[in-house]
Homo-oligomer: A and B are copies of this chain.
Amino acid sequence: MDKKIATIQDVAAQAGVSTATVSRTLSKPSVVAKATREAVLAAVDRTGYRVNATASNLRRQRTGSVIALVPNLANPFFSQILAGINSVLHPVGYGLLIADTQAGPNLEDRLSAYLQSSMADGLILFDGTLSPEALKNPGRPPVVLACEWMDDDLPSVCTENARGAALAVGHLFDMGHRQIGHITGPQGNVLSETRLTGYRDALAERGLAARPDWVFDGDFSMDSGAAAAQKWLRLERRPTALFCSSDEMAIGFMGAVQHRGIRVPEDVSLVGFDNIEVVEHLTPALTTIRQRRTQIGEQAARLLLDMIEAGTLSGPSQTVEVELICRDSVARISD
């Protein structure tokens, strides 16, 4: 039947009113009289009309979508956060655009392109390696930092990383461990560094020394966990426990040492970070710091929406709780 897709004009003609009335019926029904409203709605129904988002957005000077900038989309860690974001964005008519910061080369350029090009009404940033300065264009849309806490000027939603680290080494200490190592996240990443200093502080607080050869460089990936395992194996004096800055690294480490016949937790205890879904199905199930990823996404999205509506560039930074989940990867040491 209808080859062409109906426009607001068609509806107006059908209903015998002006386009203004049609528009109002759809956005603010209360201001149009009942009779006309019904006529319009009937016409909408008949024509199968749907408002053209592009035209509407142009007129209203907005885009109706927000961009989530994630480093490495393929990392499953983010998908749950994205789900959280989407769950608050979708009901209020916003779309979620995703972009991978890893994809191209000239990141800072692309970032400022995103900021300026009016492709989105706001931006949620997950990449902790960006310089905050790049984000401070005048006339930019609101930005929310998620998972990172780079800058005091920019609002952010962030897990209590330092506290997580403290919980982890505290638990290891309580279980009798005195030789506690650490696998870090990528260098230059704020998360990594907060967790690292959290680890150091927690040790110091308990009168323990942080041996530099007991902290292994990682990058959150399983492979880097496995690489740390190789270094650990070569150590003349090995820490009896490791706090890993991500579950994935803990998995990589565990896989690598088990492969060599080393038992977890009897020979080495592990605590991860994130509580990704898989870790409770491992053998042994991994003790870890839980980070509510959906909640991070939800809070970030809500914060951003508030900023968009209020037209402000700043907002209240928020924090999401962490929690120690005890499973089977930490042994009690008695001596």
Contacts and interface: CB of A to CB of B under 8 A. Distances in A.
A50 B96 CA distance: 21
Given A50-B113, A53-B117, A116-B5, A73 B86 contact: yes
Contacts of A63: 53-54
Contact of A97 (B58, B75, B97, B225): B97
A280 B222 CA distance: 10
Contacts of A74: 79-80, 83, 294
Contacts of A285: 255
Contacts of A251: 278, 281
A9 interface: no
Nearest to A140: B5
A52 interface: yes
A226 interface: yes
A97 B99 contact: no
Contacts of A316: none
A83 B77 CA distance: 13
Interface residues of A, number: 64
Given A80-B74, A255-B282, A119 B100 contact: no
A282 B173 CA distance: 27
A46 to B, nearest CB: 14
A224 to B, nearest CB: 12
A2 interface: yes
Nearest to A52: B118
Contacts of A226: 281
Contacts of A194: none
A251 B277 CA distance: 11
8 contacts: A2-B139, A53-B117, A54-B54, A54-B118, A65-B95, A86-B100, A251-B281, A255-B285
Interface of A: 1-5, 48, 50-55, 57-58, 63, 65, 72-76, 78-80, 82-83, 86-87, 90-91, 95-100, 103-104, 113, 116-119, 138-139, 222, 225-226, 248, 251-252, 254-256, 258-259, 277-278, 280-283, 285, 294
